[in-house]
Structure 1
């Protein structure tokens, strides 16, 4: 059952992205929330390595679900990373998913995954790398260039960490810098400790 907000706006506009079975199930719960006009409160996205787990979702719109069509990754993160690295189609699909589906007005993106399987454990890492490279590194680079114009190069080279911190602090104050958060679950099944070891 969907929960409706009367006329309240959320304090922080955000996208929630679920990876693997656990991550997509968590995001599916947030997708239940709608405004009184029926529109989604949160931009909820789901990515999995197979269609079967996505079929279980009740609230994330089909248009916001992406399958890498890999048939699952067998609860093996090492294998999953190798498959993702070697499968150009899956790699491109993940990149497009993470770079094109976040709303430009969002201030925060939350990444959800379970660390007990292959898909969530491996894709969340790749997705964070892609997201940061596409959305936030250009903003930080621009701020570094501004810092470079304000201070002598010799001073910057002598205090690189200080000036990198200044650029980063300036970047996170900008509206086009999108903050990230990570929500993960730890496995409690018998195969969990082995998965975490990998």
Structure 2
């Protein structure tokens, strides 16, 4: 595991100061949630810091890396190439930064679209990214309380909110998010 000081130095190479501040808020919230759910806090903190490592890349570079390393997984990825930042970010964490922990890599990879059968660390990062204090999401406090008790229920609420936002704004919905939402819905029954 890389020390926090080294991780923060790495972030400065890849991200704007605004994105670094976001990543730090996500990391802090993920760490707190991890402790509540008996997940190793340092993994959650590391995943939180690194989750957006590819977010400030130019679209052309994201697409190039995704093609070069076979990171495209669905034709919809071509329609929304910025979503590739999660897969490219996981690839960078593994191949450029030497992160080998599969749960951290999964969390980075799934923090944007989610997926069925996510590990708890991936759920924590997905939720923390949505609820970090800088976003001022309406209902965030109540959702955070839900997440403290039931990660799956919080995932369903997050996914429902995301899908509603995408529909209301006439945006493309990635099939993986729909699949994840249906998976978490079925787990509530």
Normalised by the length of structure 2, the TM-score is 0.27
**Higher RCO (C-alpha 8 Å, min separation 6):** 1
Higher helix share: 2
Higher strand share: 1
Normalised by the length of structure 1, the TM-score is 0.26
